[in-house]
Amino acid sequence: MNQQLGELWRARHFIRTSIRNEFVSRVVRSRLGFLWIVLYPLAQVAIYAFVLSIVMAAKLPGLTTAYAYPIYLTAGILAWSLFAEIVSRSLNLYIENGNLLKKVVFPKLALPAIMTGSALLNNLLLLAAVLVIFAFLGHLPGAAIVWLPILMALLLVLALGVGLLLGLLNVFIRDIGQIVSIVLQFGFWLTPIVYNLELLSERYRHLLYLNPLTGIVQGYQDVLLYRQAPDLGVLIYPATCAAVSVVLAVWVYRRGIDDVVDVL
Amino acid sequence: MSWALKVDSVSKSFLRYRRESHRVLAWLGIRLGSVQQTQVLHDVTFALEPGEAVGLIGLNGAGKSTLLKIITGTLKPSAGQVAVNGRVAAILELGMGFNPELTGRQNVYHVAGLMGYAHAQIEGFIDEVHAFSELGDYFDQPVRVYSSGMQMRLAFSIATAERPEILIVDEALSVGDAYFQHKSFDRIRQFAREGTTLLLVSHDKQAIQSICTRAILLDHGRVAMEGAPDAVMDFYNAMLADHQDQQIAELPGHGGALLSGTGEATFTEAALHDARGQALEVVDVGQSVELRVSARCVAALPDLVLGFLIKDRYGQDVFGTNTRQLGQVRYEVPAGEALSWRFRFPANIGPGTYSITLALHSHAGHIERNYAWQERALMFEIVNRSQHEFSGVAWLKVESECETHHEC
């Protein structure tokens, strides 16, 4: 593994230019360019805000601002879109690059590194756009924003662990790709993004805490909406899940990566 | 003893599980169901000395590609090991890793980066790549507007931007126009002169015989022979001939794709032999050969003519004749009669691959009553082993002399 990380470090320029290339090639041929990266999640926010604000607006406890619900939604979608992008792109990472893996010798870890960098770049652009909009709404997060990089890192590790584990298995058992796409759809609704946990009965609330994203999304909401530090107690479980998933992914990677090239 | 590349008892087998989930369980040490093992390489051992040019040959499916992937390192051997002394560059498939949206220049950075070159190194050779690829202004246009030949030129220029210690060349070079083919082969030869160890994988006998000092024949995943290119090529040709015999035996049932006609007569056998009656697949320029064709009449026929036509690989007619032109028409052939013909001629044609089309038809011509028509009934290759070098599809035995005149 150390040797792999060394290779990865030597390939850092390649990874950096690849991320840039991917970004450029996406932006260069459409007229609105990088706006699309930001517009899609913001459109999601607009739709949910429009449809659900009547039901939800009054029910976010302890808030006076009129834009509380859209901000709440945006915080959740910001977190969710990073997770969903990494997981869904990891799923087909090895399959899509099968030919390359079979015919060119290069550090294989560069593939997830490029994908992660690219997803992170998209998410940071979205964050920047979101902060600009929040500023217009007169709702900047304040000092609590120092927690955001930590939450983001936790989310990233969790997404990478889960994504790479499933992506490797997907090479062998292609059904996984299909199943995970569906699970992601459910996952969106099983995470308190458009609704608030306070609204649910005790029983369901405990069930939703089994979803490791719940704590992280609540952290995002704490920082961006309530301007307060996230509840660290809630983050222990997601952090444990992230650690376990990474350990599993590393184990499967070491076992399976040679088989991956055989099977592709 | 010094070596540049050492392949030490390498075996490779691919495992096929009844279900792929069994493979995942196998990582956990749980064995379920039957595992089908396909062994592609058996205990392959050889070594290349520094600066040597070695040809690797074998029929399709002999394991050449798998072996190359193991040497370059994309595949792991199931047993044994590969050791290399120096940087390996492989031209296995050109154009891998290109991003069509990026310009040629950006793609050089991208692909060379993928191959492990540092940014500064790439800056050092990018002008050279630009010049060698002869892309001109296209170099700063997106690769998606390139023709496949241009992509290939760029890819080759990147792959050979710096002289590697070991260069592995697959048949990739057969793409591109003739001019660039020559240019790329010149570069490969240049590398070899400067000390690069060369492993050339090809079906092209001339390429192997003209560049390599040694050849390795791979058959069914084993090293079948190793030695001087000529000797190995002869052995390979004999192997090909065996392979061909099998195909001839299968000829009657060869399927309708190639065979057309009324079916009133059918071919039973067709083969090319040398003067001693040995079956041939590779023929020397000018060698005497004998075409043997056997056929059987299914229905009684008023008259029967056999024709054959030699075509080059572009489908051009090189030579054709028939038994009417030769004055040997058979009349009133009863049903069930078996016939065989022999045509002897010198193969005065240029190097390349040729096919022979056979036709059985009536006296009037094959358009009117065509009993059986077999496209590409036979394939053979002409190589130039004994004559001076020449070009073209025909071989005209030329005798030349040159005189000098002195003004007194």
- Residue B285's φ and ψ, nearest 5 degrees, are -60, 130
pLDDT at B147 (0 to 100): 85
Q: Which residue has the tokens 């690059």?
A: A97
Q: What is the pTM of this model?
A: 0.69
CA B276 to chain centre: 27
pLDDT at A246 (0 to 100): 92
Cα gap B294→A240, rounded to integer Å: 79
Predicted confidence (pLDDT) at residue A114 exceeds the cutoff of 80: yes
- CB pair distance less than 8 Å for A103 and B115: no
Q: Among B21, B69, B101, select the one facing A173 at the smallest CB separation.
A: B21
- CB pair distance less than 8 Å for A100 and B97: yes
Distance from CA of B98 to the nearest CA of A (A): 10
Enumerate the residues of chain A whose CB falls inside 8 A of the CB of residue B115.
Answer: 104-106
Mark residue A171 as left, alpha or beta (left: phi above 0; alpha: psi -120 to 50; beta: remaining): alpha
- The residue of chain A nearest to residue B113, with distances taken between CA atoms, is A14
Percent of chain A whose pLDDT exceeds 90? 16
Enumerate the residues of chain B whose CB falls inside 8 A of the CB of residue A18.
Answer: 110, 113
Q: Chain B within 8 Å of A3 (Cβ-Cβ)?
A: no
- The residue of chain B nearest to residue A165, with distances taken between CA atoms, is B24
| Sheet of strand B35-48: strand arrangement | B35-48, B5-17, B79-84
Q: Which two tokens stand for residue A179?
A: 């199943």
Average pLDDT across chain B, whole number: 81
- Higher-confidence position of B369 and A234: A234
Substitution target in B38, B74, B158 with the highest count of A β-carbons within 10 Å is B74
Q: Chain A within 8 Å of B15 (Cβ-Cβ)?
A: yes
Cα gap A151→A163, rounded to integer Å: 18
Q: Is B381 helix (H, G, I), strand (E, B) or coil?
A: strand
Q: Is B361 helix (H, G, I), strand (E, B) or coil?
A: strand
Distance from CA of A121 to the nearest CA of B (A): 19
Least-confidence region, from A97-106, A170-179, B49-58: A97-106
User: Minimal CA–CA distance to B353: which of B388, B321, B318, B322?
Assistant: B318
Longest dimension (CA), chain B: 97
Segments in B117-265 forming alpha helices (H): 119-133, 148-159, 178-193, 205-211, 229-249
Predicted confidence (pLDDT) at residue A157 exceeds the cutoff of 50: yes
User: Minimal CA–CA distance to B244: which of B217, B202, B282?
Assistant: B282
- For the segment B316-335, the average pLDDT, to the nearest whole number, is 88
Contact predicate A213/A191, CB 8 Å: yes
Predicted confidence (pLDDT) at residue B354 exceeds the cutoff of 60: yes
Q: Which range has highest mean pLDDT (A201-210, B188-197, B245-254, B341-350)?
A: B341-350
Predicted confidence (pLDDT) at residue B21 exceeds the cutoff of 80: no
Contact predicate B229/B215, CB 8 Å: yes
Enumerate the residues of chain B whose CB falls inside 8 A of the CB of residue A259.
Answer: 23
pLDDT at B184 (0 to 100): 80
Cα gap B92→B73, rounded to integer Å: 12
User: What CATH number has the domain spanning B251-383?
Assistant: 2.70.50.60
Show me where the domains of chain B are located.
50-237, 251-383
pLDDT at A153 (0 to 100): 92
Enumerate the residues of chain A whose CB falls inside 8 A of the CB of residue B110.
Answer: 14, 17-18, 21
- Band (pLDDT 50/70/90 cuts) for residue B251 is very low
pLDDT at B247 (0 to 100): 43
Buried b / exposed e over B137-154, threshold 16 CB at 10 Å, is: ebbeebbeebeeebbbbb
Q: Chain B within 8 Å of A42 (Cβ-Cβ)?
A: no
Q: Chain B within 8 Å of A98 (Cβ-Cβ)?
A: no
- For the segment B186-191, the average pLDDT, to the nearest whole number, is 83
Q: Which two tokens stand for residue B107?
A: 């793609």
Q: Which two tokens stand for residue A233?
A: 């107690």
Q: Chain A within 8 Å of B115 (Cβ-Cβ)?
A: yes
The size of the A-B interface in CB pairs under 8 A is 76
- The residue of chain A nearest to residue B94, with distances taken between CA atoms, is A103
Q: Which residue has the tokens 């360019």?
A: A33
- Higher-confidence position of A155 and B172: A155
- In words, the CATH class of domain B50-237 is alpha beta
Long-range CB pairs of B136-142, under 8 A, 24+ apart, other chains included: B138/B104, B139/B103, B139/B104, B139/B105, B140/B103, B140/B104, B140/B105, B141/B103, B141/B104, B142/B100, B142/B101, B142/B102, B142/B103
Give whole-number Cα distances, B163 to A43, A236, B86, B229, B357, in Å: 53, 54, 11, 25, 46
Contact predicate A142/A178, CB 8 Å: no
**Dihedral over Cα of A57, A63, A68, A71: its sign:** negative
- For the segment B129-135, the average pLDDT, to the nearest whole number, is 87
Q: Which two tokens stand for residue B93?
A: 């498939």
Enumerate the residues of chain B whose CB falls inside 8 A of the CB of residue A17.
Answer: 109-110, 113
Give whole-number Cα distances, B76 to A102, B59, B129, B223, in Å: 11, 23, 32, 19
- Band (pLDDT 50/70/90 cuts) for residue B162 is confident
Contact predicate B324/B313, CB 8 Å: no
User: Minimal CA–CA distance to B322: which of B281, B368, B287, B357?
Assistant: B357
User: Minimal CA–CA distance to A12: which of A110, A122, A80?
Assistant: A110
First-to-last C-alpha distance (Å) of chain B: 62
Longest dimension (CA), chain A: 60
Predicted confidence (pLDDT) at residue B255 exceeds the cutoff of 50: no
Q: How many residues does chain A have?
A: 264
If one counts every other C-beta atom within 10 angstroms of the C-beta of residue A42, the result is 17
Give, as one character, the DSSP assignment of residue B279.
B
User: Minimal CA–CA distance to B1: which of B67, B89, B85, B87?
Assistant: B85
- CB pair distance less than 8 Å for A103 and B102: no
Q: Chain A within 8 Å of B326 (Cβ-Cβ)?
A: no
Radius of gyration of chain A (CA): 19
- Residue B106's φ and ψ, nearest 5 degrees, are -65, -35
- For the segment A196-201, the average pLDDT, to the nearest whole number, is 78
Distance from CA of B217 to the nearest CA of A (A): 23
Q: Chain B within 8 Å of A146 (Cβ-Cβ)?
A: no
